[in-house]
Structure 1
């Protein structure tokens, strides 16, 4: 009996060991497989935190942001956006930049020159991609357009031929002599454009005179435009964020007084400006987004990514505005109607 009991006990013990070994083997395999898949799942689920700083809301800047988001989406980048608008307030602009940095965002999208300058002052570590900037070098955002050299790069909102073509059109096709310009002299982006225009007029002997009307806020824009009436025979509204945010007030003054007003980009033509040599802000936002994609994927660094210029310069005219001021559109202008861009 004792011998049989020993044999039975031994058999039971051996069976239990085998069962435990088998269970251990089965449970270990899924665990190892789960660990193998874990990095891929984490990478697939990665959502980037993008800080967005914008000096003011107006259609051009909003279109640039739409383009930026589209580029990331097209590249399969998942992102959450912390969007903060300064509404033209420089103090708020600085606070926004500091808040985004302290929030530990993965990348900052700076939409306008003041926004980019504030962000660049707030951090030298977080990558910053800008757009809607006119003169990146003059704004001290980069060492040079070809080799930015720091944590900042992006796309600019001026084509090298845009301003010369606009001035030539004002002089040769509209017969302008005195051109009124309303702009915020405290915005580096605007001051750089006006100085560039004056220098070009002098260097090329164009015989145009620029009559300035400076503003500090969007509330000053209409009065500044009205101050030019009787002093000028045409107007030129550049990509000034303060003025563009209140563009309709300038358009009404220009059209009521039959003053042809050239503008700096297509959205302003759509809103009533006579014409522009320009590009779509959506496109430069999209190009900035493509640069951000490379940085987020580890395929590039801001320091080595050249600043990009807009492509495909076009001449667009608002036929309704031309009719309102009694201007005949000539075939040799080769102008597209702003409505054609909306098709």
Structure 2
């Protein structure tokens, strides 16, 4: 029986943990799980990682970038499998996606920009002028903004709407150009935590939001294309099996989201006078009403 540590920053990624455990069970792996959760306290993660190290676990499944950083920073040579880390290379967890090069691998939670652009074109086929609302101090938001700009440069007329501080959101009425046809919101904690304010200002001018954070769809975005955390956990389980059987984590490529899920909000669509395409309604994982 293997001893596997599970290091979480919060319970928000419980679906990934459940998928991970189920994936190992499906592979016939017998394991004792040692679960620790920092309850959102970043300062606790190194201590919790050290606790897992003292238990001499065979591997650590790290949920979130800070958790992965804490696990990889351990002096002990314990392999780490992570998810849903948005930018593993930028976060310094791996050298490259194809050849991680250290003691960690995993599955990124980033949905490809090209997939998001295709989603927007399908959802809003006549939209051309798209705003990108992002927090300038959030590294993940910057990565996704740059990826989106590169992929969409010849598809949309893009307008950047940078937010430097949370307080800037209260100025959205002045910051949002009047001729925008939609707003794309990359991943980012500050925007997500103040999403109700964003919806307040966009609703006032009948402006649809395309989100990157799943809970934002229920909270007023028109739609989102997101990773399924349970599937990410299962994919991490596959990599874990290889590691437990002797493969070096440093040569196992980091996975990416291959089958993102569609989330739609029909209530928002009705309010904005937008007809949701049947092709998307058929494929949607969830439709909020």
Q: TM-score over 0.5 for the alignment?
A: yes
Equivalent in 243, 264, 268 of residue 212 of structure 2: 264
Structure-2 separation of matches of 1:249 and 1:132: 25
Q: RMSD across aligned C-alpha pairs, in angstroms?
A: 3.2
Unaligned 5+ segments in structure 2 are none
- Deviations 1:201-250, CA, capped at 9 Å, x for gaps: 55x373211102245xxxx4xx5543323422443333335554x37635
Distance change in 2, residues 1:300/1:268 (3 Å): farther
- 5 Å-filtered alignment, 1:178-217, equals 178-181=131-134, 183=135, 185-186=137-138, 188-202=139-153, 204=154, 206-214=156-164
Which sits farther off after the overlay, 115-124 or 127-136? 115-124
Report if aligned partners of 2:265, 2:287 keep a CA contact under 8 Å in 1. no
Alignment of 1:1-343 (within 5 A): 46-54=1-9, 56-58=10-12, 61-76=13-28, 77-87=30-40, 89-123=41-75, 125-160=77-112, 161-165=114-118, 168=121, 172-181=125-134, 183=135, 185-186=137-138, 188-202=139-153, 204=154, 206-214=156-164, 220=166, 223-232=167-176, 233=180, 234-241=182-189, 243-244=191-192, 246=193, 249=196, 252-253=199-200, 256-257=203-204, 258-264=206-212, 266-296=214-244, 298-331=245-278, 336-339=283-286
TM-score, structure 2 as length reference? 0.80
Return 273-282 or 115-124, whichever deviates more: 115-124
TM-score by length of 1: 0.69
Cα distance in 1 for residues equivalent to 2:258 and 2:137:
28
Deviations 1:135-154 (A, max 9, x none): 22222211221111211000
Tell me, yes or no, if the aligned pair for 1:254 and 1:260 is still in contact at 8 Å: no
More helix by proportion, 1 or 2?
A: 1
Relative to structure 1, the CA distance from residue 171 to residue 328 in structure 2 (aligned partners, 3 Å threshold; closer, same or farther) is closer
The answer to whether the Cα contact below 8 Å between 2:108 and 2:255 also exists between their aligned partners in 1 is yes
Deviation at 1:288, TM superposition (A): 0.9
**Which structure ranks higher in relative contact order (CA pairs < 8 Å, sequence separation ≥ 6)?**
2
User: Computing the radius of gyration over CA atoms, which structure comes out larger, 1 or 2?
Assistant: 1
Residues 53 and 76 in structure 2, CA contact (< 8 A), matched pair in contact too: no
Matched residue SS, 1:317: strand
Alpha-carbon distance in structure 2 between the residues aligned to 1:133 and 1:338: 22
Gaps of 5+ in 1: 1-45
